[in-house]
Structure 1
Amino acid sequence: MRPQSRLTFPRNLHPGAWWLWALGLAAAASRTQNPVPLLLILAVGGLVVSARRSTAPWAKSYGAFLKLALLIIAIRIAFQALLSTGSQGPTVLFSLPLLPMPEGSGLKLGGDVTLEAVLQAFYEGLQLGVILCCVGAANALGSARRLLRSVPGALYEIGVACVIALTFAPQLVTDAQRVRAAHRLRGRPTRGLGSLKRLAMPVLEGALEHSVELAAAMDSRGYGRTTDDSRVSRRLTTVLVFGGLLGVCVGVYGLLDGTTSSWLGLPMLALGSGLAAVGIAVGGRRTGRTTYRPDPWALPEWLVAGCGATAAVAMFVNVETAPEQLYLASVTMLPPVPLLACAGILVAALPAVLAPPLPVVRPGTTQETPSLEAAA
C-alpha cells in the first residue's frame, strides 16, 4: 500500500491551529460592517465546521452559537427601535408610541422607526454575531481540554484547574440528574424550592468526595511539584508577564479602534506578545513537567493557522487601501464587494480540505477521552 502523506493521514488536528484560524476570521470580522464579507465569513466558518468537526459532544456547540448570534441581532434591532440617539433617517417604516424623556439626554423611547436605523442596527449586530460564531467554530473544532496540554509551564497550575473544571462540570449535571431520578422513584417532588434543597446536599457531598479522591490521586502522581527558583527570577517573571499582558491589551485596543495612533496597534501587540512569551518561558523553568502523547504541530497545523491569518491580513490591507468598501457611507446603498478581503476570506475555507481527516471512531466511544493527563 502507498504510504499516506501528512495531509491525508487521519488524526486530530492540534486545537491551537483551529483557534488561531478562528481568531483570524474574528479579527477580519471586527474590521468591517459590510454584510458581504461578514456573511462570507459566516459561510466559511459553517463550511469548515461541517467538514471537520468530530463526533464529541462539545463539537455540537456551533448551532448554539448561531442561535445566540441571531438573538444578538434581534436584540440590537429592538434596542435601536426603542432607544436610539441622533437622526433616524428619512424612510419611516412604522411609528411607536413616543414617551417623554428628560431634556438633554439625547434618547428617545418610541417614536418613528426608520429603515436606515434598522439597517444600521442589523449591520452592527451582524458584526458581533459573526465574531461570536467564529468563537463557536473554534469551540466546535478544537477541544479546550486538549488545548490545555499546550499550556506553558508558567501557567501549569491554571491549566490543571481548568482541566478539573472541564472534567467535573458535566459530572455535576450527571449527579443532579441521578439524584432527581432517585427522588422521582421515591415519589418525592422534583420541582420547587424544597426539591432544590434536597438536591443540593447530595450533589455537594458527591462533589466533595470526588475532590478529595482527585486531590489524593494528583498528589500521588506528582502534580504541583515545583523546582527551586530565586527571588530575582520570580520578580523578573512577574514584571515581564505583567508588562507583556499590558502591551497586548493596548495593542488589541489599538487594532479594534481605528481612530487611535498606528503605533498603538500591531507594534504594541507584537511588543507585548514578545515580553509575555519571554516571561512565560522564564517562569516555566520552575515547573518540571512532562506531556503524555503531545499533539503534534506539523504542516497541516501551519496551513490551517496560515489560512486564518491570510483572512485577517487581507482585511487589514483592504481597510488601509479602500476603507469605503468596508465601512458603508450610506446603509441604504447596495453594499460593495471588497475583492481583496473576500479573496482572503475564501482562503480561510481551505482547512475544510487541508486539515487531515478525523480518525475512525468505534461505536460507543468518542474522539476524546477525558483525563487529567491533558494538563500533565
Structure 2
Amino acid sequence: MTTGENTGTRTTTPTPRSRLRAPRATRTNALHPGAWWIWALGLGTAASRTTNPLLLALLVGVAGYVVAARRTEAPWARSYGAFVKLALAVLGIRLAFAVLLGSPIPGTHTLVTLPELPLPDWAQGIRVGGRVTAEGLVFALYDGLKLATLLICVGAANALANPARLLKSLPGALYEAGVAVVVALTFAPNLIADVQRLRAARRLRGRPDHGLRGLLQVGLPVLEGALERSVALAAAMDARGYGRSAEVPPGVRRTTAALTLGGLVGVCAGTYGLLTAEGGTYGLPVLLAGLAAALGGLWLGGRRSLRTRYRPDTWGVRAWLVAASGAAVAALLVLYASTGPYAYAALHPGVVPLTAPTLPLWPAAAILLGLLPAFVAPAPSDSATIAKEPS
C-alpha cells in the first residue's frame, strides 16, 4: 500500500493471495449455466454407478457445500431445499414399500413379522405383509439412497444455473424445445416462492399456515398466481414474435433432417457398442460420427431462427474448470468400476450376507474433485444483482 505525497490518496496493490480468490459475480463474469448442469450431471452419473452409502453421502455433501457457497438469492435458487425434502420422501417411500410389500432379496435376519394379507392366485409373486428382514431393508436403503442422491444433484443444478441464461445459450434449432424445458424448470421454484410468500403473509395476519386447513387456503391463491404468470408469459412470447422462422430452401431442410436423424441413430448405435463387449471395435467411431452429424444438423437447423442474442454468455476458463470437475468425477468412477471384481464390491456392498460398507480411497478422492466449483466459480454478490438482472 502506497500513499501519494501531494494528493494524500492511497493506491492499493492486490496481493498474490487476493488474485487467487474467486471474484465477485457480475454481469460480465457470470459463470455459464451449462457448466453448472455438466457439473451436476457428472455427480449424478457418479451416483448412478454405486450403491455404497458412504460414497453417496459424500456426493450429497459435495453438492450441498457447493450450493451453500455459490447459491444466490434468486427465486430458482430456493428450490434446493425442496429437492432435498423430495429426496428424503423418496427414500422413506422406498423403505415403506420394502416393509409392506417385501423385498426380492432373501434374508435370514428377521426383524419383525407383519400380518400377511391373502391374495388371489392371479397375484402370485406379490405379497402384502409378512417377514421383514434386515437384508431387505438394507437393500432398499441403498437403492433409495442412490435415487435420492440423483434428485439432490438435479436440485443443485436448478439452484445454481439461471434457466433464462441457459435458454439463451441453446442452439437456434432447439429454441422452441428449450422454451418448453425452461418453463417447466421454473415452475417448481416459482411455486415454492409463492407458497413461502403467502404463508408469511398469513403468519403476519395471525392466521394458521400449517395443517390441512392452511394448505387449502393457500392453494387457491397459488393457482391464481400460476395462471396469471402463464397469461403474462404467453403475451410476452407473442409480443416478441415467438415461433417466427426464416424461409430456407427445401434442400437445406432435407439435409438438416437427414443429418439430425442419422446422427441420433449413430449416437444410439455407438453407445450400444461401447456398452457391449462385441461392439468395442466400432462403438467409438460410430459414436463420434453420430455426434458430428447431429451437430451439423443442429447448425443447419439454426438458420431458421431469426432471433438475436443480447450480451451472450461466454464460456471462460472458470466454466471449463467447473464442467471438467463434474466430468472428471463421473469418468473416474466409471473407470474404477471397470477395473475388476474388487472395485465392483467396493462400489456395491453386499447385503447377502450383510457386510459393513467400506470407504474406497480412490473413488472418495475422485468425488472430492467436485468441490472445485466452490473455489473457482465467481462468488455471489451481496445484493444478488447478477441473479435478478433481466436477460
Q: Indicate yes or no: 2:107 matched with 1:89.
A: yes
Q: Indicate yes or no: 2:317 matched with 1:299.
A: yes
Q: Indicate yes or no: 2:59 matched with 1:41.
A: yes
Q: Deviations over 1:272-331 (max 9, x none)?
A: 443322211121122243211211211100000111011101100111012121122336
Q: Indicate yes or no: 2:261 matched with 1:242.
A: yes
Closer, same or farther in 2 for the Cα pair 1:254/1:351, shift >3 Å? farther
Residue 122 (structure 1) aligns with: 141
Closer, same or farther in 2 for the Cα pair 1:273/1:232, shift >3 Å? same
TM-score, length of structure 1 as denominator length: 0.79
Indicate which of 132, 152, 165 corresponds to 2:171. 152
Residue 76 (structure 2) aligns with: 58
CA–CA separation in structure 2 for the residues paired with 1:206 and 1:78 = 39
CA–CA separation in structure 1 for the residues paired with 2:165 and 2:367 = 27
Q: Indicate yes or no: 2:349 matched with 1:328.
A: yes
Q: Deviations over 1:201-226 (max 9, x none)?
A: 9879967864674355314xxx5443
CA–CA separation in structure 2 for the residues paired with 1:126 and 1:318 = 21
Q: Indicate yes or no: 2:361 matched with 1:339.
A: yes
The Cα RMSD (Å) is 3.8
TM-score, length of structure 2 as denominator length: 0.76
Equivalent residues in 2 for 1:23-34, closer than 5 Å:
23-34=41-52
Q: Indicate yes or no: 2:125 matched with 1:106.
A: yes
Contact preservation (8 Å) 2:105, 2:135 = no
Structure 1 residue matching 2:66: 3-state secondary structure: helix
Q: Which amino acid aligns with 1:67?
A: K
Q: Which runs of 5+ in 1 are unaligned?
A: 182-190
Structure 2 residue matching 1:54: 3-state secondary structure: coil
Q: Which runs of 5+ in 2 are unaligned?
A: 1-11, 202-212
Q: Deviations over 1:315-362 (max 9, x none)?
A: 00111012121122336211122222111100111211111222342x
CA–CA separation in structure 2 for the residues paired with 1:20 and 1:242 = 24
Q: Indicate yes or no: 2:304 matched with 1:286.
A: yes
Q: Which amino acid aligns with 1:330?
A: V
CA–CA separation in structure 2 for the residues paired with 1:159 and 1:203 = 23
CA–CA separation in structure 2 for the residues paired with 1:229 and 1:82 = 60
How much has 1:155 moved relative to structure 2? 1.5
Contact preservation (8 Å) 1:56, 1:366 = no
Q: Which amino acid aligns with 1:128?
A: L
Contact preservation (8 Å) 1:25, 1:134 = yes
Structure 1 residue matching 2:338: 3-state secondary structure: helix
Structure 2 residue matching 1:101: 3-state secondary structure: coil
How much has 1:231 moved relative to structure 2? 1.6
Contact preservation (8 Å) 2:102, 2:132 = no
CA–CA separation in structure 2 for the residues paired with 1:204 and 1:57 = 15
CA–CA separation in structure 1 for the residues paired with 2:223 and 2:79 = 30
Contact preservation (8 Å) 1:318, 1:338 = no
CA–CA separation in structure 2 for the residues paired with 1:334 and 1:262 = 37
Closer, same or farther in 2 for the Cα pair 1:248/1:40, shift >3 Å? farther
Q: Deviations over 1:99-134 (max 9, x none)?
A: 223457322211110000000000000000001100
Closer, same or farther in 2 for the Cα pair 1:343/1:63, shift >3 Å? same
Percent of paired sites with the same residue = 45
Closer, same or farther in 2 for the Cα pair 1:357/1:78, shift >3 Å? same
Q: Indicate yes or no: 2:27 matched with 1:8.
A: no
Closer, same or farther in 2 for the Cα pair 1:52/1:94, shift >3 Å? same
